[in-house]
A and B are shown apart, each in its own frame.
Chain A
Amino acid sequence: MKTGIVLPHYQRPDGVHPPLDYPDYRSSLLRAPTQPLVPMPQWLTEVTGPLLGPDRVTAGDADLTTRHAGEPLGERIILTGRVLDSDGRPVPDTLVEIWQANSAGRYAHVVDDHPAPLDPNFDGGGRCVTDSDGRYRFITIKPGPYPWRNHLNAWRPAHIHFSLFGRAFTQRLITQMYFPGDPLFAQDPIFNSVPDPKAREAMIARFDLGLTIPDWALGFEWDIVLRGRTATVFETEEHR
């Protein structure tokens, strides 16, 4: 029986995301599933999703430099870009959440015992909602690289964590944004867990002199591309 329910279908991200089972990243050894993933159709729960917008954000959430008594130490930056789907369509009115280390490479978190100073004027969390053109914009400081215990002399390249919802459960994405020219890319298993070099490049922001505010802050641009819709799929194909 057909129900007349015709649903959008979201592109499979084949070959883009890192494999869950990736031994170079030691933390995956006890946490990555061993059983193959079971294919799931994209039905009503999957093609819908939370439409989180302005009600999750308060004024000042997008400026990580003005939330405390004083200014944080470090290189002040403007970080902006668009949230798009793979057809190039902007995703407006969607929540973007970020978190990051301070300029010395230390997170304001009890578990971080890296002996670099905490900054009383920086907590590292921010959020905003994209505008009608899918654009987000943060003011923050450039995070520092930091050591971790994955392997001997392991250092994470400077990065900012980004959380995106899009419009559908299928589009949910949490990722990391990196800075151009970082000398630590070659030895970082998290960055290199992405198999396709072109996809790895897609995680690196672009320095843009045009976004720089003279005498005040450097500018970086980074677009985020979420899974887009494919052409309408008919019932017989929905299990792929």
Chain B
Amino acid sequence: MTLTPSQTVGPFLAIGLPWADGPYVVPEGTPGAITITGRVLDGAGDPVPDALVETWQADPNSRFNHPDDPRGAVTSATPGFRGFGRSATDQNGGFRIVTVRPGPLPTPAGATEAPHLDVSVFARGLLDRVVTRIYFADEGQANAADPVLSGIAEPERRETLLAEPARQPGAFLFDIRLRGERETVFFDV
């Protein structure tokens, strides 16, 4: 069957997609919760105020409550863990996701993926979503062994995938540069 092609979300996605609880992968006040904030920027370095950022991740015990995980679907030990986050950007291109740090994941060939979130970005001007990953800059050892990160030859390109710890405890910064200088690595999945 012919696949349905992607089309841009256009400038008016705010009518249909944002949810009041979208940014909360875990309920507010969850012990150990972290906040990932950042900006979506265009090729001129200007904020993208009409984008949508979505995240998907394992729970802190490296599990998914999903039947296609061959290790079995598991209800997370973190109460209210949804795995999924969704944040529309504001006038400054800013987004915010409240979550818990995911655990590392085994690959079929026996390697280990460092803790990460898969990310989709939708916006006017993007005819298809762009996909990236958020890793954590303070997971140096795990990141060094991660097969996806290691597959990116240039260190400065790899760095675009690292969320940096901010001053406040539990806060991380992750900017998404759609184009141009320090362009974020985007994946073909």
A residues in contact (CB < 8 Å) with B: 1-8, 11-13, 16-20, 22, 25, 27-35, 37-52, 56, 84, 86-88, 97-100, 107-109, 111-112, 123-127, 159, 161, 163, 167-170, 172-176, 190-191, 193-194, 196, 198-203, 224-228, 235, 238
From the candidates A3, A84, A123, name the one contacting B107 in the complex (CB within 8 A). A3
User: Does B178 contact A108, Cβ atoms closer than 8 Å?
Assistant: no
User: Does A38 contact B6, Cβ atoms closer than 8 Å?
Assistant: no
Is residue B110 within 8 Å, beta carbon to beta carbon, of the partner chain? yes
From the candidates B82, B107, B118, B128, name the one contacting A20 in the complex (CB within 8 A). B128
User: Does A44 contact B64, Cβ atoms closer than 8 Å?
Assistant: yes
Residues of A within 8 A of B151 (CB): 38
From the candidates A20, A35, A170, name the one contacting B126 in the complex (CB within 8 A). A20
Selected A-B contacts with CB under 8 Å, 6 pairs:
A38-B185, A44-B64, A48-B64, A112-B11, A175-B4, A199-B5
- Measured between alpha carbons, how far is A3 from B180 in the docked complex, in Å? 40
User: Does B17 contact A30, Cβ atoms closer than 8 Å?
Assistant: no
Residues of A within 8 A of B77 (CB): none
- Measured between alpha carbons, how far is A132 from B70 in the docked complex, in Å? 24
The smallest C-beta distance from A219 to any residue of chain B, in angstroms, reads 20
User: Does B3 contact A227, Cβ atoms closer than 8 Å?
Assistant: yes
Is residue B10 within 8 Å, beta carbon to beta carbon, of the partner chain? yes
Residues of A within 8 A of B183 (CB): 33-35
**Chain A residue nearest to B63 in the complex (CB):** A44
The smallest C-beta distance from B62 to any residue of chain A, in angstroms, reads 8
**Chain B residue nearest to A110 in the complex (CB):** B14
User: Does B185 contact A5, Cβ atoms closer than 8 Å?
Assistant: no
User: Does B84 contact A97, Cβ atoms closer than 8 Å?
Assistant: no
User: Does A48 contact B68, Cβ atoms closer than 8 Å?
Assistant: yes
- Measured between alpha carbons, how far is A12 from B148 in the docked complex, in Å? 18
User: Does A32 contact B179, Cβ atoms closer than 8 Å?
Assistant: yes
Is residue B143 within 8 Å, beta carbon to beta carbon, of the partner chain? no
User: Does B109 contact A44, Cβ atoms closer than 8 Å?
Assistant: no
User: Does B16 contact A86, Cβ atoms closer than 8 Å?
Assistant: no
Residues of A within 8 A of B109 (CB): 1-3, 235, 238
The contact string, 1 if C-beta is below 8 Å from chain A, for chain B 103-120, is: 001111110010010101
The smallest C-beta distance from B182 to any residue of chain A, in angstroms, reads 11
User: Does B125 contact A99, Cβ atoms closer than 8 Å?
Assistant: no
Q: Which residues of B (168-189) have their CB < 8 Å from a CB of A?
A: 178-180, 183-189
Contacts A1-B109, A5-B70, A161-B13; is A33 near B186 (CB within 8 Å)?
Answer: yes
User: Does B15 contact A108, Cβ atoms closer than 8 Å?
Assistant: yes
**Chain A residue nearest to B131 in the complex (CB):** A40
Q: Which residues of B (69-115) have their CB < 8 Å from a CB of A?
A: 69-71, 82-84, 105-110, 113
User: Does B4 contact A226, Cβ atoms closer than 8 Å?
Assistant: yes
Residues of B within 8 A of A228 (CB): 1
Residues of A within 8 A of B189 (CB): 40, 42, 46, 169-170
User: Does B7 contact A5, Cβ atoms closer than 8 Å?
Assistant: no
**Chain B residue nearest to A7 in the complex (CB):** B108
